[in-house]
Structure 1
Amino acid sequence: MTGTREGTVHDLVGVGVGPFNLSVAALADELDDLSVAFLDENPEFSWHPGLLIEGTTLQVPFLADLVTLVEPSSRWSFLSYLKAHERLFPFFFAEKFHISRREYSDYCAWVAHSLPSCVFGRRVTAVRWDEGREAFRVESEDVRTATREVTFGRNVVLGVGTAPTVPEPLRGVLGKEVFHSASYLDHVDSLREAEDITVIGSGQSGAEVFLDLLRTQQHTGGRLRWLTRSRAFAPMEYSKLGLEHFTPDYTEYFRSLPQRTRDRVVPEQWQLYKASSADTLAEIHDVLYERSLGGRRPDVTMMPNVAVTEARHSEHGVELSCHHVEQDRDFDVRTDRVVLATGYAPSRPSCLEPLAELVDLDELGRYRIDGDHRVALDDGVTGGLYAQNAEMHTHGVGAPDLTLGAHRAATILNAVAGRDRAPFTLPTRSAFTTFGVTP
């Protein structure tokens, strides 16, 4: 299934094996007439290992696993994972709708290493269009031996994930003292040495990191600071009707909007995908409340409306030049460590460079992606290049959310198989809300 022979041409080749491409692989596993192969450079499945903090949970229910919302009877469902690990009864009595990040990661690893189509330790170096074969030529190398192989696919699906975002003023000071939250657990020892720690960013990762540091502070002491550009440490929208923005119905509506409108709407919806869970914010408040008993005052600063405009190293640590947006006032912060919980953004993998002239980008340099998640290519390319978690600008806030992972995977597989023999039946209505006026 890995396409190591020159004569083999798969129906679909996946670049990267994160949860989204793993969902494609899991759903495809039960399709006997579809040949697939997935390549990933990591030695084993890995999902945000630097953020698997004890006690953190997914923001979506366990039913938003790799397959259930499309194929509940699949052998690769989360419930099947529990059965295989003799955890069904403990899970039943735990009465948890939201599972821990660690358990979700372990579930995905179980699926990934059970599927023969998923190959780890192979770095994709180039993707080219082979006119003679009418297929993509996916070139890869073994990360240990540098042995090169070629895998051919009539279609390719990108699942390389997103890259940590570092604000421009902080890019020049990255290192032991300043790092992205994606590697938070890798820096725990360094953080314990610090007397003053600053967390920047108020999304879910920022809240989880701040809470973990707050709990540690009780034993290690020191000063803790939380800064964000946002107007408040606001909770994520989690009402039942609000969550309908993560349905196929909303995606279809969003796609009907002009691109200029889409680009305006997404930033306005920041509480759907950039805020923190109300539970995490409540835990932070509870810890601070308990810590304040007896007239004590926790050595903690939490300040919204703050933009970091400059950062530099000095003999005293890291110095941050800050600007309070609403007050229009500048001030400085001296700190020992800075944790950047500043989010992630899609990145175009270097392996696509050979296809650069064949990819049709919009005026902002983004992929043009259709309803099947297929990237617009030159008319001479008959194969399909599909992208996952790179289409918020065309599909809305649900693009990076695990809720729509299985639905998107099924949509891609249906497109690869062809409309006349689409293997998955998808819902015609998924929300009670009517998002727009039908022409």
Structure 2
Amino acid sequence: MSEQRQCPVGATPERSDRPPHHAVAGIGAGPANLSLAALGEKVVPGGVHLYERRPAPAWHPGQLSEGSKLQTSWVKDLVTLVDPTNRLSFLNYLVSSGRLYSFFNAQYAEIPRLEFARYLAWAAGELGTIHCSTPVECVSYADDGSGGGRFVLSGPEGVVATADHVVLGLGTRPRVPACFEDLQGARGLVLAERLQTRLSGAAVLPYQPALVVGGGQTGAECVLMLIRHGFRDVRWIGRRNWFAPMDDSPSANDFFRPTYLRFFHGLPEEVRRRYVAQQQLTSDGISLATLQEVYQLNYETYLREGRHPVMLLPGRDVVRASRRDGQIALWCERDWGGRERHAAPLVVLATGREPAGLPLAPGLAALMESDESGRPLLEADYSVRWKNAERNRLYLQNRSRIGHGIADPNLSLLAVRSATILNSVLERTAYVVRDEHVSTAWA
């Protein structure tokens, strides 16, 4: 299935005033493109300009609940892995905010997600190249007929800007399983990112059941949110036959190194697909501390109230859902055979995320090479293979797990990926990525 998002039909009218032209423009101001802009500030003439549809950059705004932690070290911020002296490092953010000593004295093993979100907002505010409330709905290409060209970025009111090179960092959207599609918008069905808003100020009948679908980190955080809000009959459904902790061992973290990335990119596709499947829990598992908190709350609540507030239901795949009499009923196929039914007035979907659609004009998309699923093929430097790539490059962030490994959509290599893209744009080594002391021989 193609990831392309349909652009408006017809030509986009030019504004009366000439739109700005940039050497490098980015669509989206999430962590990936903020890293690009932070590192590009020093080396790209005029800086990297980012266009963001929202009023302000935001990162998982509905998932910053009490106790939610980052699964990646704060050292792996926007810049530090390739440019530790950069003014937009997390450490400089702490110094600038006056919270450095308080932060260190709190002795976080994993920092609050809220802190990282505030760091990103601070970095965006420090940069003078973020254009908020400026949606880009279509990226097209204008060839000047004499061996040159430019990308044209258009929004609802016409052309927003033009650029020599464009980087798409559009993030993700919630993945809704097919069996829930007809229930979208139904009362009682809530996406994980909207649960906090839904619960705010809502009265709770403690033993009113609630179902959480999704056995990953987000599902675990939703379970904790419900318990803290007073729910005492939470049923947590996951497809795996156990609620799996994330593998944060030294050997697992080898997959998040530049040296491994280079090795991985050179493997045959069938091997890459197999490795990504095998390495899933190095990225998509539940933080051990989060899993322990669920079990400890379950135990302690039992001591006080004589009842476990959470029933864990692993090995179940939801295959059917319907709404009736004020409740949503789910039918689950079990790993070991048979089906079972669960019903509740509140069902939370924590079923993962998928890439947002690409705002590519049909004429531009037609000039690109795609795989059998319609996804653009990417080079090692994250650039799209297309007709005019030698003079104007289009880059995709967070779109190449099979091409670039399990770390691709992860925060761990933000700065490394940005440095790779900037080196490619500038056709020189503006940033050196060093990873020389490796004791593992993959090949």
Superposed pair shares fold, TM > 0.5? yes
Residue number in structure 2 paired with 1:425 = 432
- Give the drift of 1:193: 4.1
Q: Distance in 2 between matches of 1:169 and 1:381?
A: 44
Residue number in structure 1 paired with 2:378 = 369
Residue number in structure 2 paired with 1:198 = 211
Residue number in structure 2 paired with 1:288 = 298
Residue number in structure 2 paired with 1:188 = 199
Q: 1:371 to 1:58 in 2, by over 3 A?
A: same
Instruction: Give the alignment's Cα RMSD to 1 decimal.
Output: 2.1
Structure 2 residue 340 is matched with structure 1 residue 328: no
Q: Distance in 2 between matches of 1:401 and 1:430?
A: 23
Q: Which of 188, 203, 207 does residue 220 from structure 2 map onto?
A: 207
| Conservation of the 8 A alpha-carbon contact between 1:215 and 1:287 | no
Q: Which of 225, 233, 236 does residue 223 from structure 1 map onto?
A: 233
Q: Distance in 2 between matches of 1:72 and 1:372?
A: 22
Paired AA for residue 179 in structure 1? V
- Give the drift of 1:235: 0.6
Q: Which of 303, 314, 319 does residue 324 from structure 2 map onto?
A: 314
| Conservation of the 8 A alpha-carbon contact between 1:9 and 1:135 | no
User: What is the aligned length?
Assistant: 423
Q: 1:164 to 1:430 in 2, by over 3 A?
A: farther
Q: Which of 396, 399, 402 does residue 408 from structure 2 map onto?
A: 399
Residue number in structure 2 paired with 1:86 = 98
> Where in structure 2 are the equivalents of 1:249-264 lying within 5 Å?
249-264=259-274
Name the SS of the counterpart of 1:235 in structure 2: coil
Residue number in structure 2 paired with 1:66 = 78
Residue number in structure 1 paired with 2:258 = 248
Name the SS of the counterpart of 2:276 in structure 1: helix
Residue number in structure 2 paired with 1:163 = 173
Q: 1:280 to 1:398 in 2, by over 3 A?
A: same
Q: 1:153 to 1:295 in 2, by over 3 A?
A: closer
Q: 1:308 to 1:191 in 2, by over 3 A?
A: farther
| Conservation of the 8 A alpha-carbon contact between 2:273 and 2:402 | yes
- Give the drift of 1:395: 0.6
| Conservation of the 8 A alpha-carbon contact between 1:167 and 1:342 | yes
| Conservation of the 8 A alpha-carbon contact between 2:232 and 2:310 | no
TM-score for the superposition, normalised by structure 2: 0.90
Q: Distance in 1 between matches of 2:381 and 2:402?
A: 15
| Conservation of the 8 A alpha-carbon contact between 1:69 and 1:406 | yes
| Conservation of the 8 A alpha-carbon contact between 1:51 and 1:181 | yes
Q: Which of 281, 285, 289 does residue 279 from structure 1 map onto?
A: 289
- Give the drift of 1:295: 8.3
| Conservation of the 8 A alpha-carbon contact between 2:180 and 2:321 | yes
The gaps in structure 1 that reach 5 residues or longer are 142-146
Structure 2 residue 357 is matched with structure 1 residue 348: yes
Structure 2 residue 62 is matched with structure 1 residue 55: no
Residue number in structure 1 paired with 2:12 = none
Name the SS of the counterpart of 1:110 in structure 2: helix
| Conservation of the 8 A alpha-carbon contact between 1:64 and 1:402 | yes
Structure 2 residue 154 is matched with structure 1 residue 139: yes
| Conservation of the 8 A alpha-carbon contact between 1:15 and 1:157 | yes
- Give the drift of 1:53: 0.6
| Conservation of the 8 A alpha-carbon contact between 2:90 and 2:119 | yes
Q: Distance in 2 between matches of 1:342 and 1:134?
A: 42
| Conservation of the 8 A alpha-carbon contact between 1:201 and 1:342 | yes
| Conservation of the 8 A alpha-carbon contact between 1:66 and 1:405 | yes
Q: What do the CA deviations read for 1:270-301 (whole angstroms, capped 9, x no partner)? A: 21122101111111111111122278222431
Name the SS of the counterpart of 1:109 in structure 2: helix
Paired AA for residue 126 in structure 1? C
Paired AA for residue 283 in structure 1? E
- Give the drift of 1:31: 2.2
Q: Distance in 1 between matches of 2:432 and 2:198?
A: 46
Paired AA for residue 115 in structure 2? E
- Give the drift of 1:353: 4.1
Name the SS of the counterpart of 1:154 in structure 2: strand
Paired AA for residue 287 in structure 1? L
Name the SS of the counterpart of 2:371 in structure 1: coil
| Conservation of the 8 A alpha-carbon contact between 1:62 and 1:97 | no
TM-score for the superposition, normalised by structure 1: 0.91
Q: Which of 429, 438, 441 does residue 434 from structure 1 map onto?
A: 441
- Give the drift of 1:160: 0.6
Paired AA for residue 71 in structure 1? D
| Conservation of the 8 A alpha-carbon contact between 1:4 and 1:151 | no
Residue number in structure 2 paired with 1:116 = 128
Residue number in structure 1 paired with 2:5 = none
Residue number in structure 2 paired with 1:100 = 112
Q: Which of 413, 416, 427 does residue 422 from structure 2 map onto?
A: 413
| Conservation of the 8 A alpha-carbon contact between 2:138 and 2:361 | yes
Q: Distance in 1 between matches of 2:437 and 2:223?
A: 36
Structure 2 residue 284 is matched with structure 1 residue 239: no
Q: Distance in 1 between matches of 2:304 and 2:96?
A: 50
